[in-house]
Structure 1
Amino acid sequence: MPKKVLIITYYWPPAGGPGVQRWLKFVKYLPEFDIEPIVYIPENPNYPLRDESLLKEVSNELAIIRQPIKEPYKLAGLFSKSASKSISKGIIPAQKEQSFIEKLMLFVRGNFFIPDARKAWVKPSVKFLSEYLKNEAIETIITTGPPHSLHLIGLQLKESLGVKWLADFRDPWTTIGYHKQLKLTKSSEKRHKALEKEVLNKADQIIVTSFTTKSEFEALTQKPIQVITNGYDNQSVQNLKMDTKFSIAHIGSLLSKRNPEVLWRVLRDLRKESDGFAKDFQLNLIGAISEDVLKTIYSYGLDNCIKNLGYVSHEKAIKYQKQSQVLLLIEIDSEETKCIIPGKLFEYMVSDRPIIALGPKESDVEKIIKETNTGHYFYYTSYNALKSVIFEHYKAYKDDALKVQAIGLQKYSRKALTKSLSNFI
């Protein structure tokens, strides 16, 4: 008889964006390892991004439980709808660009909603799930964050029922890049860290998506920590035609600090120095883009070669990945982002297109790209090396020889990762 496990998550179809992908795929494959997943989600969530196409991936046989949630973003929207929507997406303007309302929202978010804006769902969820778990004889639960308030549901259920509890961190808690932008008071910062430490020390198993996060957490707890990265599904695209232009595509959000001027300068200079490059080049931006980033790109004279498509469904994103000539991955250049491995990296790796990535030194992304031979990784100071590789890619594109010789990708398949997860459940 399959073992039942309750998965507590906020993001679920029709939510869009990367947060939904991880557990949607785990749930898809867990039954193959004799585990019956049951998913607990909010009934009336405030998803900043929606992707109706993902509903097709949810099995009709999957048990899904929904309970109401109260969230502040709808109330905040009465003061500034655009600011509320941007902040809920994680797009925070640069300090000097923030309006008074945005500064106020960030202060309130960081200091009155600890650990996050979904904290009001904790108490009613614990009350409901305490009865549900006993009635259904479920002895194992998994919480996944962010939002990290969901880990507090796991914490309280662990304390009251003694269930086995796995805490999955898709992103870090107090060391994530935007945490410093929440205008925290000293007491609020202390409260965040105390909750983080309590979760890490009371969960039976910690799961993280990156090697750097594992190292950071090992300084806070003696509990076992396992790295299970995000991954890829093999998805075929019908009637695919490669871009005729030399397209470099960034797929996903470009936050204000994901803004490598070295890249925009390289692209400007290559267009100036090569008429052929200027004629053939196209920059595809697919996803939510910060106004700060767009202004910087325009300042380098690239506005007439941009194709800005905004947010698209995951289904369409896969198509753009496979038909673009080169794939671009950008992370904020800071110590805090060394641990961030975007879920799209793994889909990039099986798109058979070369990756150009920019980010901090010694990041987990750099390690994976080098290990799999799927592209090149640069720092925000790598002008000459970056320029050389982009022009080499352009010459290969002109010769119809732009190829990737990837190695060792199988361990990042969603099914292989789910097998690893099943060993801890």
Structure 2
Amino acid sequence: MIAYHYPPMRGSSGIQRTLKFSQYLPQHGWQPLVLSASPRAYANSGNDQLAEIPKEAIVHRAFALDTSRHLSVRGRYVGWMALPDRWVSWCLGAIPAGLRLVRKYKPQVIWSTYPIASAKLIGLALHKLTGLPWIADLRDPMTDVDYPADPVTRRFYRWIEEKTVRNCALAVCTTPGAIVTYTKRFPDIPASRFALIENGYDEENFANAAALQKPPTPVAGRPFTLIHSGIIYPSERDPVPLFEALASLKEGGTVTAARLRIVLRATAHDSYLIPLIEKYGIGDIVSLAPHIAYRDALAEMLGADGLLVLQATNCNHQIPAKLYEYLRARRPVLALTDAIGDTAAALRHAGIDTIGPLDDKAGIQEALLRFLELAEAGRAPLASDEAVAANSRRARTAELARLLQQVSVSVPSAQVKGTSEAC
């Protein structure tokens, strides 16, 4: 399992996908061999989820540097040193380490996961060098018309993307829209090469978080608290129209600091957001909050009056991983996203229709006021029990185990250390 995002890294919801797969795969007869990066490559690390790594997992952390932090001079570095990403040095450590793992443990399947493009290069190299079948967890499309923004990086991503799709045994996506994108982009590749495993939530994590959480207090007499938990990308989740809408509503007296408080937790782009909050004069309504431990973040969701989703039109074929945790938290959700995108579709499927556009000031005003009226009256729709149950990480892991079995090669069990099968 080739994954950059793995404990002790913190600050990305993508960590949960690999961590929970590795935690629950042993229950399906698969022993995980995790090939991750040296913790020195992580800008934010901590021990809060290390205990969730299963005892059956064999974890190797290969040499890796962050070009921008370790190889730059006064914050500057040559562009090729960060192609395809700032962690390309991980390839130098991970490919030899992966070969040693293959020789020692004789796994049956290679699995690599995005969004670090270097993980795909490592997976491709190990597949070519060993002949083992390779499941590429693409998650979302790697490229778009104008993504990545740099043309050189975009061409490199396109090359990696094509090599991945043409050489892997299966390409796994997290949304139906992503599969549609790839089948159109590669019409000569059989549709059977693409599989869907959506993101999800972990019930055990929520049970632990609930122990920290007191029941939500009534809204009367205090502002309604709306939480956005996680990264706010300046392009994919640009909050400028939201800030414009809030400024206008504040000026009109419809939304005030006495009525609404919005907390943006662990945005990773505070330096971008602070001037915007000051520019629109909404600092009494919108505040930024630092990263906290994962269990604490879940507890905050459980106690929030409402939860905020931001997802731009250029991400219509993506669903934020955090959305599934929002649904499990069973708190009112305001989603600012395109009505025809996969995020809106997932919400409607769960029974939630408090949705407005992210790129339209007037539409945001209308959606926000409707949401507040419903939530304050206790009538905001919550996720259905059926939708919540279907999104558990245990259920997702069962889907992955089925795919592993589908592509696995025959290796005598005596050659595999641990359980009967390894990946």
TM-score normalized with structure 1 length:
0.82
Q: Is contact 1:210–1:340 with CA below 8 Å preserved after alignment? A: yes
Residue 405 and residue 229 in structure 1: after superposition, are their counterparts in 2 closer, same or farther (change >3 A)? closer
Determine if the alignment matches structure 1 residue 118 to structure 2 residue 87.
yes
Amino acid in structure 2 at the alignment position of 1:161: T
Aligned match of 2:20: 25
1:303, CA displacement in angstroms? 0.7
Q: Is the 8 Å Cα contact of residues 207 and 225 (structure 1) preserved in structure 2?
A: yes
CA separation of 1:122/1:369 partners in 2, compared to 1, >3 Å: closer, same or farther? same
CA contact (8 A) 2:173 2:196 kept: yes
Call closer, same or farther: CA 1:289–1:126 in 2, change over 3 Å: closer
Residues 42-75 of structure 1 deviation map (CA, whole Å, 9 limit, x = unaligned): 2344112324311131223422123222442333
2:8 match? 14
Cα–Cα, structure 1 residues 138 and 306, in superposed 2: closer, same or farther, change >3 Å? same
Q: CA deviation at 1:371?
A: 1.0
Q: For 1:49-128, list aligned pairs within 5 A.
A: 49-76=44-71, 78-80=73-75, 108-109=78-79, 111-128=80-97
Cα distance in 1 for partners of 2:338, 2:71 equals: 34
Separation in structure 2 between the aligned mates of residue 116 and residue 275 of structure 1, nearest angstrom = 45
The answer to whether structure 1 residue 132 and structure 2 residue 112 are counterparts is no
Distance 1:275 1:177, change over 3 A: same
Q: Is the 8 Å Cα contact of residues 208 and 214 (structure 1) preserved in structure 2?
A: yes
- Which residue type is aligned with residue 283 of structure 2? D
Query: Structure 1 residue 340 and structure 2 residue 335: aligned?
Result: no
The letter for the 2-side match of 1:415 is: R
In the alignment, which of 302, 306, 328 is matched to residue 326 of structure 1?
A: 306
Question: Greater relative contact order (Cα 8 A, min sep 6): structure 1 or 2?
Answer: 2
- Listed as ranges, the matches of 1:23-422 within 5 Å are 23-76=18-71, 78-80=73-75, 108-109=78-79, 111-175=80-144, 179-180=148-149, 183-185=150-152, 189-218=154-183, 219-220=185-186, 221-222=189-190, 224-234=193-203, 235-236=206-207, 237-238=210-211, 239-242=213-216, 244=219, 245-257=223-235, 258-274=237-253, 277-287=256-266, 288-334=268-314, 337-360=315-338, 362-380=340-358, 382-402=360-380, 404-406=382-384, 407-422=386-401
Cα offsets for 1:253-280 (capped at 9, x unmatched): 1222333444223333443445785412
CA distance in 2 between partners of 1:386 and 1:233 (Å): 31
Instruction: Say whether the 8 Å CA contact 1:354–1:375 is kept in structure 2.
Output: no
Alpha-carbon distance in 2 for matches of 1:127, 1:394: 55
Decide whether aligned partners of structure 1 residues 190 and 274 sit closer, same or farther in structure 2, where only a CA change above 3 A counts: closer
Give unmatched runs, 5+ long, in structure 2: 405-423
Q: Does structure 1 retain, via aligned residues, the 8 Å contact 2:225–2:306?
A: yes
Q: Distance in 2 between matches of 1:381 and 1:189?
A: 25
Structure 1 residues 261 and 70: CA distance shift in structure 2, 3 A: closer
Q: Equivalent residue for 2:403?
A: 424
CA distance in 2, matches of 1:123, 1:298: 44
In 1, Cα distance between the equivalents of 2:4 and 2:65?
Answer: 12
For residue 151 of structure 2, what is the amino acid of its counterpart?
A: L
Instruction: Give the drift of 1:396.
Output: 4.2
1:349 is paired with a residue of what secondary structure? helix
Contact 1:349/1:374 (<8 A) preserved: no
Distance 1:130 1:348, change over 3 A: same
Structure 2: distance between partners of 1:176 and 1:324:
37
CA contact (8 A) 1:168 1:207 kept: yes
Asked whether the equivalents of residues 231 and 269 of structure 2 are also in contact (C-alpha less than 8 Å), the reply is yes
1:349 counterpart letter in structure 2: L
Q: Tell me the C-alpha RMSD between the 2 structures.
A: 2.6
The 10-residue stretch of structure 1 (7-16 or 130-139) with the greater mean CA deviation from structure 2: 130-139
Question: Partners of 2:145 and 2:71 in 1: how far apart?
Answer: 23
Q: 1:264, 1:297 within 8 Å by CA — same for their partners in 2? A: yes
One-letter identity of the residue aligned with 1:125: A
Would you say how many aligned residue pairs link Structure 1 and Structure 2?
387
Question: Aligned partners of 2:358, 2:287: CA distance in 1, in Å?
Answer: 24
**SS where residue 32 of structure 2 aligns?**
strand
How far is 1:286 from its partner? 0.5
Q: 1:379 to 1:259 in 2, by over 3 A?
A: same
Aligned partners of 1:9 and 1:144 also within 8 Å: yes
- Structure 1 stretches of 5 or more lacking a match? 1-6, 81-100
Separation in 1 of the partners of 2:139 and 2:51? 23
SS at match of 2:41: coil
Question: What is the DSSP-based 3-state SS (H/G/I as helix, E as strand, rest coil) of the residue aligned with 2:113?
Answer: strand
Aligned equivalents of 2:64 and 2:381: distance in 1? 48
